[in-house]
Structure 1
Amino acid sequence: MSLLFVNGGAPGQARLRVLGGLIVDAAGPGAHGETVIDLQGDRLLPGLINAHEHLQLNALPRLSYRQRYERVGDWIADIDARRSQDPLLRANQAIPRAQRLLIGGLKNLLSGATTVVHHDPLYPSLLEPGFPVEVLRSYGWSHSLELDGAEHVRRSFQATPPEQPWIIHAAEGLDSGDEFEQLDRLGCIAANTVLVHGLALSADQQQRLMQRGACLVWCPGSNLHLFQRTPEVRPLLERGCLLLGSDSRISGGRDLLAELPLARELAGLSEAGLEALLTSQAAARLRLNDRGRLLPGLRADLLVLPRGLKLSEAQRADLRLVMVGGRMLCADPAFASAGGPGLLPVQVDGRPKSLERSLVEALQGAAISEPGLVLEPRPAEALA
């Protein structure tokens, strides 16, 4: 299918063509039967990149059992101690992992995040063609020094090719600054290192991180929920050494969009800077050379934002269209016909939308649902 977007509301985006999952030259002729979508001043953006997530942990609400934590290990221990007794935790664990991962994927899709860094194993369902978002595949990772131990962490880093990012939770609590020094002694702070959280990093440690060419993923909502603090990230931001992640809902907010007002306020980001942080800068840091910008030859990961609405003020129901690899997966009814018969009517936070058929069918058979997403009743034969 060839799609031509016209009358986009941003400079240089008046026309954009999608063909075969890629952005192609909009100046040339389209394919036979090309569909034209008139944006009427709405704005095209590259799909957002969520730099930190645990996709299987989004069917739970925020969890906390103390007013404030000092160590992330104490929070983990509090959850572990309740796994067998807490009805909420037990019920969630009983749900098949593939369904929990699906909810995590939908959470991101509906918020305009088309690429997600899943900080856990690459479970098979994440790699299936019908999963709602693209998941980072070429990377190395360890959970943390506390859970994995120094030797496992060292081996994980050494096994990761230098052209791929290597990701680890580090300095997440208020008293964990020594984790940076341990990682440094292990030889794990290099140009492909991606630390997550970094709440306890000192100014000197941040400088050394930047000098090595490494970067930090900032999850302000999660930090504030657990520790009532978040790191000072402006030096990292100025050097291009910062990424933004939502974390999962057990510590983070509703989705990536919920992080944006926090990020703007706490880091003094401009709107253009915020958009770059979630698109081109994230793609560069994660070695994703095929996305993050609206250029011919790159993946057609797109979202459409209503004319005049700032990204930092957007809610997920405001997004008029989300496309992943040229596939229109969620759209306003006005755009849905361009996606063909594969889109079915739903509601997102009370607004009519259309969602890709296979996702609707997967949700109909699932034991859990995505809050705010309502499937429209349809005759059984329509879903056959």
Structure 2
Amino acid sequence: MRSTLFAGGYVFDGTGSTPSRADVLVEDGVIRAIGRSLVGDTVVDTTGRTVLPGLIDAHVHLALSGVNLVERLANPFSFHFFQAVVNCQRTVATGITTVRDAAGADLGLKQALARGLISGPRALIAVNMISQTGGHNDGHLSCGLAVELFPHHPGVPSGVADGPDEIRRTVRTMLRAGADVIKVATTGGVLSPSDDPKHAHLRPDELAALVAEADAAHVAVMAHAQGAEGIKNAVRAGVRSIEHGIFLDDEAIELMLARGTWLVPTLLAPLSVIEAAERGEVHGPAVLDKALEVAAVHRDAVTRAVEAGVPIAMGTDTGIGPHGDNLRELQLLVDCGLSPYQAWAAATSGAAGLLRLDDRIGRVEPGLIADLVILDGDLTDLSGLAGRVVETWQAGCRTYRRPVHEVAR
């Protein structure tokens, strides 16, 4: 059994503690020891750098590559599968070794990643998002056409459902398609053409049926929830995480604290829509107006949640914006009150806890899987992070090395 020693640098263990000088010994894909004067068969010099746990993005869309409506209509149906391969490569190149795909990725993509056919992160998948007719996952346009955010095919069945019985059947359909998590939209959203992010979607009896069916399969529920009433409906129904939480009010925050509900803020998402518009990318006329409206209040809501102590996991909604830009979310979390080390913890041990993978990943600790990232610079400096990832290791194997000609940006 050959071993790899990461020697000479600092180690951030993922808990939020200050990095300390240490070496990390890896054998057979597992972290075996952390300390000084360790010995390994192969030595990776990390002098002047930091070794940290493989990063986790708890809200991505690997099969989505932007929100340009014209481009989506112009591309052949199969084109997005090939884009997904590149998206996975860009993700692991930014130090992210595990993701929770929040709709669009199917079981085939997950298995291709797991079997090493393509390079990319370990993936938990939602398959598709469940929403009501006219809700966040209903692509019906006023002209009579429908442009689905997550195109339907045999691996990604429709998520539009109404009434407890249909909701129950749709949950079972997603589980049959390979879902590791059930995603539901309990409010409207920014990208959907005919709804309002503040409006609550699905009634309590529908949400009760959805959560009960997910619970029966021992699968968690993540809720796209932006308006306060929809957030509270989701929390009362028993979802594990609120995604976005743009219009969180004090009652919603108190409910989340009482029930241990996680918040995945995705602060980058509305900014990505605004930036896409500035680049001239075309989407529905209402989308930019909604993005501008929510961006102004999103930071305040997340700041109040952070101050109250709501558990935070990093998620970015990447796919709305460019893959590889995920780590911009860390500075946005700091802007909302987390310290830099707390933000890194939200992207490591915190996200692992949300995904119930904290017994396997998320920390640099003996016995855990050796998902590791080597990073240039100080962790308190959150600028240019994508260009500062030197190497990414997954289960003890190097899956990304920064090209020699590139320098940290």
Task: Please confirm whether the aligned pair reaches a TM-score higher than 0.5, indicating the same fold.
Answer: yes
Which residue is 1:246 aligned to? 316
Q: Quick one: which of 368, 371, 376 aligns to 1:298?
A: 368
User: For residues 338 and 302 of structure 2, what CA distance do their matches in structure 1 show?
Assistant: 11
SS in 1 for 2:350: helix
Q: Distance in 2 between matches of 1:303 and 1:283?
A: 15
Corresponding residue to 1:236 among 289, 305, 316: 305
What is aligned with 1:157?
Answer: 211
1:17 to 22, 25, 29: 25
Q: Which amino acid aligns with 1:157?
A: V
Instruction: Determine the C-alpha separation between the residues in 2 that align with 1:306 and 1:215.
Output: 30
Deviation per CA, 1:197-234, whole angstroms, max 9, x where unpaired?
A: 11122121111112111111111121343233214223
Distance 2:88 2:315 in 1: 14
The residue number in structure 1 matching 2:110 is 126
Residue 91 of structure 1 and its aligned partner are, at CA, apart by 3.7
Please report how far the alpha carbon of residue 282 of structure 1 lies from its aligned counterpart in structure 2 after TM superposition.
Answer: 1.5
Q: Secondary structure at the match of 1:276?
A: helix
CA 1:235–1:201: 2 relative to 1, 3 Å: closer
Indicate the residue corresponding to 1:370 in structure 2.
none
Q: Does structure 2 retain, via aligned residues, the 8 Å contact 1:13–1:44?
A: no
Alignment of 1:150-189 (within 5 A): 150=203, 153-161=207-215, 164-171=219-226, 176-183=227-234, 187-189=236-238
Q: CA deviation at 1:260?
A: 2.1
Give the AA of the match of 1:36: V
Distance 2:330 2:385 in 1: 10
- Structure 2 residue aligned with 1:377: none
In the TM superposition, what whole-angstrom CA distance separates every residue of 1:31-59 from its partner, at most 9, and x where no partner exists?
7xx2111211211011111111111112x
Aligned to 2:388: 318
What letter corresponds to residue 7 of structure 1 in structure 2?
G
Pick which of 46-55 and 309-318 moved more.
Answer: 309-318
Matches within 5 A, 1:40-119: 40-58=47-65, 60=66, 62-63=67-68, 86=70, 88-119=71-102
Q: Deviation per CA, 1:52-72, whole angstroms, max 9, x where unpaired?
A: 1111112x3x55xxxxxxxxx
Q: How many angstroms apart in 1 are the aligned matches of 2:106 and 2:206? A: 18
* Counterpart Cα distance in 2 of 1:311 and 1:45: 15
Q: Unpaired runs of 5+ in structure 1?
A: 64-78, 80-85, 335-349, 354-384
| TM-score (normalizing by structure 1) | 0.70
Structure 1 partner of 2:193: none
Deviation for aligned residue 1:155: 3.4
User: 8 Å contact 1:261–1:312 — kept in the other structure?
Assistant: yes
Give the share of equivalent positions with the same residue, in percent: 24
The 3 A distance-change label for structure 1 pair 277 and 29 is closer
Cross-structure match for 1:269: 338
Change in CA separation of 1:219 and 1:26 when aligned onto 2, cut-off 3 Å:
closer
Q: Contact conserved, 1:46 with 1:303, CA < 8 A, in 2?
A: yes
Relative to structure 1, the CA distance from residue 235 to residue 188 in structure 2 (aligned partners, 3 Å threshold; closer, same or farther) is same
**TM-score where L is the length of structure 2:** 0.66
**Which whole-Å CA distance do the structure 1 matches of 2:181 and 2:212 have between them?**
9
Q: 1:91 to 1:311 in 2, by over 3 A?
A: farther
Q: Is the 8 A contact 1:217 1:245 kept in 2?
A: yes
User: CA 1:56–1:5 in 2, change beyond 3 Å: closer, same or farther?
Assistant: same
1:123-181 CA distance string (max 9 Å, x none): 3122222241011268431231368955664433212238653212012xxxx322134
**Residues 101 and 124, structure 2, Cα contact 8 Å, conserved in 1:** yes
CA distance in 1 between counterparts of 2:331 and 2:38 reads 41
1:258 matched to 2:266: no
Distance 1:248 1:333, change over 3 A: closer
Alpha-carbon RMSD: 3.0
Mapped to 2, the partners of 1:4 and 1:322 lie a distance apart of 14
SS for the counterpart of 2:31 is strand
Cα distance in 1 for residues equivalent to 2:324 and 2:26: 30
Cα distance in 2 for residues equivalent to 1:29 and 1:46:
19
Cα distance in 1 between the residues matched to 2:30 and 2:221: 28
Tell me how far apart the structure 2 counterparts of residues 122 and 302 of structure 1 sit (CA, whole Å).
26
Aligned to 1:337: none
Q: What is the aligned partner in structure 2 of residue 211 from structure 1?
A: 258
**3-state DSSP class of the match of 1:299?**
coil
Q: Given the superposition, is the C-alpha separation of residues 134 and 292 from structure 1 closer, same or farther in structure 2, using an over 3 Å criterion?
A: same
- Checking the alignment, whether the CA contact within 8 Å between 2:60 and 2:315 is kept in structure 1 is yes
